[in-house]
Amino acid sequence: MKIAVIGTGYVGIVTAVGLAEFGHTVIGADKVSEKIEKISHGDVPIYEPGLAELLKANLKKGTITFSSDLNGTIQAADVIFVCVGTPQGDDGSADMSQIEEVSRLIAENLNGYKVVVEKSTVPVKTSSWIKRTISLYKKSDQEFDVASNPEFLREGSAVSDFLRPDRIIIGVETERARDMLTEIYADFKDRLFITNIDTAELIKHASNSFLAMKISYINLMADLCERTNADVEQVAKGMGLDPRIGGLFLKAGLGYGGSCFPKDLKALIKIGEDLGVNMNLLKETDRINVERTRHFLEKIKRALWILKDKRIALLGLAFKPETDDIREAPAIKLIRDLLNEGAILRLYDPEAQANMKELFPEDKVRITYVKTPYEAVNGVNALLLCTEWKEFSELDFGKIKGLMANPIIIDGRNIFRPEAVRKLGFEYYCVGRK
C-alpha cells in the first residue's frame, strides 16, 4: 500500500512521519513548495519535540518522500490522508474550502480505487460532501471510498501521541476501506474503535468541546474561589480524585487557545444550531474562555493602576508549552490590550518569538523581544506569566527581584508557589487562589 498525506502542517507532517515509522511507504505533499523543499532536506518548519530526528531517520531509510506535485502524489497512492486546514470561517463554522479543493484534485487524478481518509477535523456529514465532490468531478469510472480517522495528537507531544495512541477512531462504510485502514494500523488492533463515518467525525468535535468545557468549568470555579476563601488548585485536586471526573484538564488559568479548541467548539455550536439543537452549554464554555484575558487585564490594572508607559515583561507567547504555535494564544489578546493601554512590552518565549514577531513586529520602543527571561524582566514594573514553560518554574527569583523595578508578578498559569515568591518580597497575583 502506498500512502499519500496531503497537507504537511502540524498534523500532516507528524502523520506522514508516523506512518513511515510504522513501516509504510509514504509521500507527503503540500501546495506550498518552499515547505516541501525544506522538509525534503530534513528541516522541520515547526517546533515539535522529537520530530526532526524521526523525519531524518525515515528520509534516510527511504520510507518517506515529499513532493509538491499533488497530481502525481494522488495518482501514486492507494490511501490518501487529507490533513489540510479547516480554519474558522466568519460565522464560526469550519471553512471547508481546503478540503473541497483537495477533493476536486483527487477526483481529477482518480486512476484506480483509493481510500480518501479525513484526518483533518471536519463537521459531521463532511464525508457526504467529499463523496459528492469526487463523484461530480471525476473523469473516470474508478471506485473510491471515503473514511474518517480523526487525529487526536497534542502539539508539544505530537510524536509520542501519534506513535503511542490511546485510541484510533475509524469511520467507514465499506469492508474494503475498513480492511485497508485496519492494515495500516495493524500494530494497534487493541486500540481500534471502528464505527460509521458520521459517528467518527462527531467523536472528534465532541472530544475537543468536552475538554474545552472542562477548562472553562474550572475557570468558573476559579472566579468563585477569588470571591471566597477557597483555593482552585485544591478544588481541582479534590474533584480529580473522583475517577468519574479525573484530574486532567482541570487547570485554572488564562483559558484554552490554539488552533483546535476555540475553532472546533465554535464549529460544533454552528453544526448544532444548523440542525436545530440548542447549543447554549457550549456557548457558555466559549464566553467563559473569552473572559479570561479580560479578568487578567483587570488584575494587572489592580496591581499597576495606570498602564500607560509602564514597562511590562511577558513570559510565554505560545498557546501552550513545548510548541511554537501562537494561533489563538491568550498572549495575542493580552499584547493587543496592553499596547492599547500604552504599555511598553518586553517579550520572551523559548520557541514562539519568531511567530509572534510576524504579528507584532519589534519596534524597540513599545515592543522588544529578548533572548532570556532575565533580559525580559530588566527594569520592568511587572512580570506577566502567560505560558507554563518548564523553564519558568525554575527561574532564579533572587536574580529576578534584583532586576525588576517593582517586584510584582501576575501569574496567569499558577506555576509559582505563592508563599515562596511572597517570602522573597514579591507582590504576587494568580488565578483562583490567594
Query: What is the spatial distance between Cα 431 and Cα 384, in angstroms, rounded to a whole number?
Result: 12
Q: Considering the complex, what minimum distance in angstroms separates the CB of residue 5 from ligand NAD?
A: 10
- What is the spatial order of strands in the sheet that 311-315 belongs to? 367-369, 344-348, 311-315, 382-385, 408-411, 427-429
Q: Helices marked H in 275-329 — which ranges?
A: 280-304
Amino acid (1-letter code) at residue 281: L
Find the shortest distance in angstroms from Cβ 215 to ligand NAD: 16
Q: Helices in 41-137 by DSSP H: which ranges?
A: 51-61, 70-76, 97-108, 126-137
Pick the closer one to ligand NAD by CB: 201 or 411.
201
**Cβ(300)–Cβ(371) under 8 Å?**
no
- Which grid cell sits at 193? 474503535
**95 or 337: whose CB is closer to ligand NAD?**
95
Alpha-carbon gap, residue 433 to 126, rounded angstroms: 44
Q: Which residues bind ligand NAD (CB under 6 A)?
A: 6-12, 30-32, 35, 70, 83-86, 98, 101-102, 120-121, 151, 153, 155, 259-260
Which CB sits closer to ligand NAD, 49 or 240?
49
Rounded to an integer, what distance in angstroms lies between the CA atom of residue 376 and that of residue 379? 9
CA-CA distance, 316 to 240, in Å (whole number)?
Answer: 27
Which CB atom, from 7 or from 330, has the smaller least distance to ligand NAD? 7
Instruction: Count CA atoms closer than 13 A to 259's CA, side-chain side.
Output: 18
Question: Whole-number minimum distance, CB 197 to ligand NAD, in Å?
Answer: 16
Q: Which is nearer to ligand NAD, 102 or 300 (CB)?
A: 102
The active-site residue out of 225, 260, 386, 430 is 260
| SS3 assignment, position 115 | strand
- Annotated active-site residue 260? The verdict is yes
Cell of 90: 466568519
Residue numbers annotated as active site: 260
